[in-house]
Chains A and B, each alone.
Chain A
């Protein structure tokens, strides 16, 4: 029995007990449903364990030598590559992905740029108060879930933050107030107690709410008697009382905010609101956590920043990063690519038809370990080991803390890690002087 970290989601729970002989996993203790699925992937029936190439519209198994040769040929035959994904890869693989993009003068972006990465981009101009899971466990007395449903997306987040007892607070759940702001009564509402506040906001009215709360912070009694965004005046006053009285509060932003419309303005308003609270608070402070889903969604921007000084989409030209003002959305929307290398994600299923249909029209090289909608259309599929189970690596937890993931067992068919595979491709390209 040994303790491992789970790579089932971005919480990276480091208290998972595994019984294994290094060849097979006999028992996994302490994982949630998402963690269990992650470990079950090892033997899933849709696992890909051999490279495949599309020939006459049908995917056929090929050798590793053929696969690497085909990748190099596709790269050499094209001039405008698009690399995307990497939020289900280790930081080492993300680093190699950026190195590959630099080598072939491509554009590289991660899933974070259409999710939590936006917050960091906006924070460049407005500043940001982040916190860690450890600080929430030990100090927090107010947790606000805004457009976030951790009960169904990061299942153990509330166990760790809401129901925990911290070192610096002698009491736990009983002194922690939970506020949920969401248009839908999600599964997370089921953990609410009598002192908690449930705010079922009208869909798409988050910005009206945040602006009203900001206004009220600056000018007392500015909330209209009829309430705002479907939330009545009394509830708004209650939440403000909690926010202004908290000793250590956290707003956890979920997909409802990170993927809503008017998102940049909304996120900007939330960052400003937190700054107003902290400038007026005498004894406490309010912080933020972004709830990305993939286990290393937070990692790409850290790696990109350390390697290039920039976050988000990186365009290389002459083997240097240039200011292109492009994102994965604009690159695909404007057909500004001639093939794609997709790593550990499924954009054919995850992007709107407008983008997925454009992506599908150009050759796709997919690096993944499971069949997906993208695999259905890919020209070349190269499988890799599952990080955190079949290979080690570094990942950034959702609170931006780096965590090391260990290898538990050997991968089937000696599959390489994403990092090793990308390194192999770079070496082949360098051998040929590309």
Chain B
């Protein structure tokens, strides 16, 4: 399903807080997540704790899909995080953190691990 990705700062899903006070486990629990509208949740047949793969030409991530009635239909919302930034984009001289076309599908694979993202960035 094609949706529009927006990244936002959310006080309960704060990357800086997790880096400062948490550990990798809490980082993954609070930030490897995506919020979707009830209609999109239903259309994708997402149940509690279902994982979704979000991909575009920049890359892909697997995170937990969560229903949020405040999200408009057609939008997938990710907290600002290292997960979100695997699919945010750079074009010409600009960084695009918002209104990015992505494909969203249900998957039975585990969420993208923090250490795997770090290894990928490092080029291992």
Chain B residues, Cβ within 8 Å of A377: 118, 121-122
Residue A211 lies at the interface, judged by CB distance under 8 Å to chain B? no
A222 interfacial by beta-carbon distance below 8 Å = no
Contact with A along B96-124 (1 / 0, CB 8 A): 11110000000000000000001011110
Name the CB-closest residue of B to A332.
Answer: B90
Select A348's contact among B6, B16, B90, B121, beta carbons within 8 Å.
B121
Q: Which of B20, B59, B96, B99 contacts A203 (CB 8 A)?
A: B99
Give the interface size bracket for A toward B: 35 or more
Contact A355 B21 (CB under 8 A): no
Contact A354 B89 (CB under 8 A): yes
Interface string of A326-358 (1 = CB under 8 A from B): 010110010000000000001011111111110
> Within residues 41 to 85 of chain B, which ones have a CB less than 8 A from any CB in chain A?
58-59, 70-72, 74-75, 77, 80-82, 85
- Decide: A259 near B98, CB < 8 A? Known: A184-B6, A361-B123: yes
A114-B95, A353-B121, A373-B118 as given contacts; A149 in contact with B70, CB under 8 Å: no
Number of A-B contacts (CB under 8 A): 134
Q: How far is the CB of A376 from chain B (nearest CB, A)?
A: 5
Q: Is the CB of B90 within 8 A of A355?
A: yes
Residues of B contacting A41 in the complex (Cβ-Cβ under 8 angstroms): 20
Residues of chain B with a CB closer than 8 A to A305's CB: none
* Nearest CB on B from A334, distance (A): 10
Contact B123 A357, beta carbon cutoff 8 Å = yes
**Beyond A203-B99, A329-B95, A353-B121, is A370–B19 a contact (Cβ under 8 Å)?**
yes
Closest to B15 in A: A349
The closest CB in chain B to the CB of A205 belongs to: B99
Contact A255 B89 (CB under 8 A): no
* Contact among A184, A327, A372 for B19, CB-based, below 8 A: A372
**Which of A45, A153, A376 meets B9, CB within 8 Å?**
A153
A392 contacts chain B at the CB level, 8 A cutoff: no
- Find chain A residues with CB under 8 A from B58 CB: 352-354
A352 and B99 contact, Cβ closer than 8 Å, known pairs A44-B20, A184-B8, A377-B118: no
Q: How far is the CB of A137 from chain B (nearest CB, A)?
A: 23
Which of A114, A155, A200, A346 has a CB less than 8 Å from the CB of B72? A200
Contacts of B71 in A (CB 8 A): 184
Chain B residues near A354 (CB, 8 Å)?
Answer: 58, 89-90
Q: Does A261 count as interface, using CB distance less than 8 angstroms?
A: yes
Closest CB of chain A to B117's CB: distance in Å?
Answer: 8
A227 on the interface (CB 8 Å rule)?
Answer: no
Q: How far is the CA of A354 from the CA of B82 in the complex (A)?
A: 12
The answer to whether B74 touches A203, judged by C-beta atoms less than 8 angstroms apart, is yes
State A293–B14 Cα separation when bound (angstroms): 13
Query: In the complex the two chains form, what is the Cα distance from A203 to B7 in whole Å?
Result: 12
Taking a contact as CB atoms under 8 Å apart, the answer to whether A203 and B72 are in contact is yes
Check A357/B121 contact, CB under 8 A, given A152-B11, A184-B70: yes
Q: B9: shortest Cβ distance to chain A, in Å?
A: 5
Q: Is A260 in contact with B9, judged by CB distance below 8 angstroms?
A: no
Interface residues of A in 50-65 (CB under 8 A from B): none
A203 with B75, Cβ < 8 A, contacts A348-B82, A351-B85 known? yes
- Say which residue of B10, B20, B87, B88 sits within 8 Å of A37 (CB atoms): B20
A42 nearest CB across to chain B (Å): 11
A 215-258 contacts with B by CB, 8 A: 255-256
Contact indicator per residue, chain A 175-205, by CB within 8 Å of chain B (1) or not (0): 0000000011111010000000000101110
Please judge, given known A-B contacts A255-B8, A330-B93, A333-B90, whether A184 and B75 are in contact too, CB under 8 Å.
Answer: yes
A1 located at the interface, meaning its Cβ lies under 8 Å from any Cβ of chain B in the complex? no
Within 8 A of B (CB), among A133-157: 149, 151-153, 155
* Chain B contact residues, CB within 8 Å of chain A: 4, 6, 8-11, 15-17, 19-21, 58-59, 70-72, 74-75, 77, 80-82, 85-90, 93-99, 118, 120-123
| 8 A-B residue pairs with CB within 8 Å | A37-B16, A45-B21, A187-B11, A189-B70, A260-B99, A329-B93, A349-B15, A353-B86
19 other contacts beyond A44-B21, A149-B9, A153-B11, with CB at 8 A cut-off? Answer: A37-B17, A40-B21, A45-B21, A184-B70, A187-B11, A203-B99, A256-B8, A256-B98, A261-B99, A329-B93, A348-B118, A349-B85, A353-B85, A353-B120, A355-B90, A357-B121, A360-B123, A371-B19, A372-B19
> 5 closest Cβ contacts across the A-B interface?
A185-B70, A204-B99, A349-B82, A152-B11, A352-B88
